[in-house]
């Protein structure tokens, strides 16, 4: 079946100039391959505690329960396309100096303790989580891999070359999204949170705080992998108004309790 699909893929690329996913973007990977890549990458992450010191779930049960609760609310949104296709698991990386979060194909989301400590409220964290969930749900990573890798390497992947799969998974670490991807993830975060109890502008509050503090934050890893679109906050606010300008809760008190659970 993979050979037949590969032939169809090559004919499509040759005759039509490409193939598109459910979002209309050029993507040679299918949904299951997103899940496979994410699983491979997660195994690499867990095997490298020196670079990625993941907080143990059993030892931080309450902390993970709170973060998982936010993710569960976001995933209840009607706008999630792959709720039942992906793993949707959050991992907390213990690094207080890194203000970052990232998602990989298949619904694996990684959040640094530095970012959790930096934020002020549950709606802000939900906004960032919604942004990362959007990257996975809209399959931005495999779209970018499609652009980055030539068809020759992708052909090896289709023929079951595990080394190629591992190489592709490894490249997800430094993968940079486009500004268009970032805008789309911002918009989806607003849409997702609109279906929750939290303020849909949560992700905008995060970017507003970053902009206010500017250079005092030092180099931001987040912006190196998530390039800053023009008028980012304005676009988020416009989307919020288009949806009806619903005001949800911020919950700073509850978030302060989450911070207390951090090591």
Q: What's the confidence (pLDDT) of residue 218?
A: 47
Q: Could you tell me if 196 and 246 are in contact, meaning their C-beta atoms sit under 8 angstroms apart? A: no
Q: What's the confidence (pLDDT) of residue 256?
A: 98
- The reply to whether 217 falls in a domain is yes
Mean pLDDT of the region 21-35: 78
- The reply to whether 9 falls in a domain is no
The residue among 38, 12, 67, 44 whose CA lies nearest residue 254 is 67
Q: Which segments of the chain does DSSP mark as H helices, in order?
A: 2-16, 31-46, 61-75, 113-118, 122-137, 140-148, 151-158, 162-170, 179-194, 202-213, 221-225, 232-242, 252-260
Q: What's the confidence (pLDDT) of residue 230?
A: 86
Which residue's entry shows tokens 């912006």?
A: 223
- The reply to whether 152 falls in a domain is yes
- The reply to whether 151 falls in a domain is yes
Which residue's entry shows tokens 């993710």?
A: 71
- The reply to whether 206 falls in a domain is yes
- 182/203 Cα distance (integer angstroms): 12
Beta bridge partners of 110: 91, 102
- The reply to whether 8 falls in a domain is no
Contacts of residue 110, defined as CB under 8 A and 6 or more positions apart, other chains included, come to 45, 52, 90, 91, 92, 93, 101, 102, 103, 104
Q: What's the confidence (pLDDT) of residue 176?
A: 77
Whether 43 shows a pLDDT value over 60: the answer reads yes
- 67/129 Cα distance (integer angstroms): 9
Q: What's the confidence (pLDDT) of residue 159?
A: 54
- The reply to whether 144 falls in a domain is yes
If pLDDT is split at 50, 70 and 90, which confidence band does 7 have?
very low
Task: Give the mean pLDDT of the chain.
Answer: 84
Q: By residue range, what is the domain housing residue 107?
A: 31-260
Burial readout 213-233 (b: 16 or more C-beta within 10 A, e: otherwise) = eeeeeeebbbeebbeebeebb
Q: Phi, psi (5° rounding) for residue 68?
A: -60, -35
Whether 29 shows a pLDDT value over 90: the answer reads no
- 54/93 Cα distance (integer angstroms): 4
pLDDT tens digits, residue range 106-126? 999 999 999 999 999 999 999
Weakest-pLDDT range from 6-10, 58-62, 104-108, 143-147: 6-10
Pairing of strands 108-112, 101-104: antiparallel
Mean pLDDT of the region 217-230: 69
pLDDT tens digits, residue range 60-103? 999 999 999 999 999 999 999 999 999 999 999 999 999 899 99
- 240/242 Cα distance (integer angstroms): 5
Weakest-pLDDT range from 94-98, 189-193, 238-242: 94-98
Whether 232 shows a pLDDT value over 70: the answer reads yes
In the chain, the number of structural domains is 1
Q: What's the confidence (pLDDT) of residue 166?
A: 57
Q: What angle do CA 195, 188, 172 make, to 5 degrees?
A: 130
Percent of the chain at pLDDT > 90 equals: 62
The span from the first CA to the last CA of the chain, in angstroms, equals 49
- The reply to whether 12 falls in a domain is no
pLDDT tens digits, residue range 126-139? 999 999 999 999 99
pLDDT tens digits, residue range 180-189? 999 999 999 9
């Amino acid at each position: 079946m993979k050979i037949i699909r590969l032939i169809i893929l090559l004919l499509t690329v040759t005759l039509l100039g490409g193939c598109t996913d459910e979002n209309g973007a050029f993507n040679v990977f299918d949904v299951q391959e997103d899940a496979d890549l994410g699983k491979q990458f997660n195994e690499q992450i867990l095997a490298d505690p020196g670079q990625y010191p993941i907080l143990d779930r059993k030892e931080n049960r309450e902390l993970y329960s709170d973060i998982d609760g936010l993710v569960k609310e976001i995933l209840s949104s009607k706008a999630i396309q792959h709720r039942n296709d992906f793993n949707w698991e959050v991992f907390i990386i213990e690094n207080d100096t890194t203000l970052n979060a990232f998602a990989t194909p298949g619904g694996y989301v990684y959040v640094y303790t530095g970012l959790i400590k930096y934020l002020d409220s549950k709606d802000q964290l939900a906004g960032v989580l919604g942004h990362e969930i959007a990257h996975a749900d809209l399959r931005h990573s495999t779209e970018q891999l499609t652009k980055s890798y030539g068809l020759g390497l992708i052909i090896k992947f289709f023929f079951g070359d595990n080394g190629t799969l591992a190489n592709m998974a490894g490249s997800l670490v430094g993968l940079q999204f486009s500004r268009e991807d970032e805008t789309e993830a911002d918009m989806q975060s607003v849409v997702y949170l609109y279906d929750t109890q939290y303020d849909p502008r949560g992700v905008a509050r995060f970017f507003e705080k970053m902009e206010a503090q500017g250079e005092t934050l030092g180099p931001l890893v987040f912006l190196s992998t998530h390039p800053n679109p023009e008028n980012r906050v304005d676009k988020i606010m416009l989307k919020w108004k288009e949806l009806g300008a619903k005001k949800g809760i911020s919950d700073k008190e509850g978030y302060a309790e989450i911070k207390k659970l951090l090591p």
